[in-house]
Amino acid sequence: MSVYFVGAGPGDPELLTLKGLRLIKSADVIIYAGSLIPEALLDFAKTDAAIYNSAELDLNQIIQLIEKAYTNQLLIVRLHSGDPSIYGAIGEQIRQLEQKAIPYEIVPGVTAASAAAAILGKEFTLSGVSQSVIFTRYHGKTPMPERERLAALAQHGTTLVIHLSTARIHQVMDDVRPFYGADCPVAVVYRASWPDEKIVLGCVDDIVIKTREQKITRTALIIVGHVLDSKTFLDSFLYQAEKAHIFRPKYAKQKQIN
């Protein structure tokens, strides 16, 4: 048996992967990440599965549960929101599992950022506007390398997806304003794909007051970038009719679409 770190996706149960669903249905033990996981996902569990809320546990208690279940040859699912490899705090768990020679596997999930882009109907990478996305957070209790502080990252001018920082949104805007401008569009997406999701649209200069009016202080993404309102981006190279490539050679007849 192994420990499976399963990405539950952003919230909508239909955004769970098929592999994640199969493991949840088969698991003897499920340790899930508190209010970040919708209860509808736990409904897929076996009736006799042992289910634990990790919000009530510390790291050592989580590892003790896993170790005991593994010793008893039980199938263990450690259920994380979104994709477990992005702000999932799985690294510290994996370190201890490796020390104890307990095998594990990571099952990726749909990220909150992907869900937010879908909800907004936007592409984060537009030709001529931004070809990179930075996933980051504002520095706080969690140590942040100086080179990764938001003011340093913002100098790149790429699309920013900022996690775990809504309570400090005023500081976030202060850091990005010199590089993106006061009128750069910003979106705050609360609980993307959940039934109670909220979307707040604005710009660097007004998003703080708009977000506070909605009383959003946590469980939200801050997205900053000109991709949110650009209408002048370039068409992709791949689909330009005059551009040949290995799958559409120049000499091939253009297909007639009926």
Give the residue extent of every domain in the chain: 3-107, 112-228
pLDDT in tens, 68-108: 999 999 999 999 999 999 999 999 999 999 999 999 999 99
pLDDT, residue 254, reads: 59
List Cβ neighbours of 86 (8 Å cut-off, separation of 6 or more): 111, 135, 163
pLDDT at 174 over 60: yes
On whether the CB atoms of residues 69 and 31 are closer than 8 A, the answer is no
Strand partners, 30: 51, 77
| 129-133: average pLDDT | 95
Rounded Cα distance between 76 and 182, Å, is 48
pLDDT, residue 143, reads: 81
pLDDT at 196 over 70: yes
Candidates 3.90.1150.10, 3.40.50.300, 3.30.1370.110, 3.40.1010.10; CATH matching 3-107: 3.40.1010.10
How does DSSP assign 85-139, residue by residue?
A: TTT---HHHHHHHHHTT--EEEE----HHHHHHHHHT--S-BTTTBS-EEEEE--
pLDDT tier, 227 (very low <50, low <70, confident <90, very high otherwise): very high
pLDDT tier, 231 (very low <50, low <70, confident <90, very high otherwise): confident
pLDDT tier, 184 (very low <50, low <70, confident <90, very high otherwise): very high
Rounded Cα distance between 141 and 155, Å, is 23
pLDDT at 14 over 60: yes
On whether the CB atoms of residues 78 and 31 are closer than 8 A, the answer is yes
Tell me yes or no: is domain 112-228 CATH 3.40.50.300: no
pLDDT at 246 over 90: no
What is the residue-averaged pLDDT of the chain? 93
Q: Is 110 exposed, middle or buried (0-12, 13-18, 19+ CB in 10 A)?
A: buried
pLDDT in tens, 52-65: 999 999 999 999 99
Q: Please give the share of the chain, as a percent, with pLDDT higher than 70.
A: 93
pLDDT tier, 255 (very low <50, low <70, confident <90, very high otherwise): low
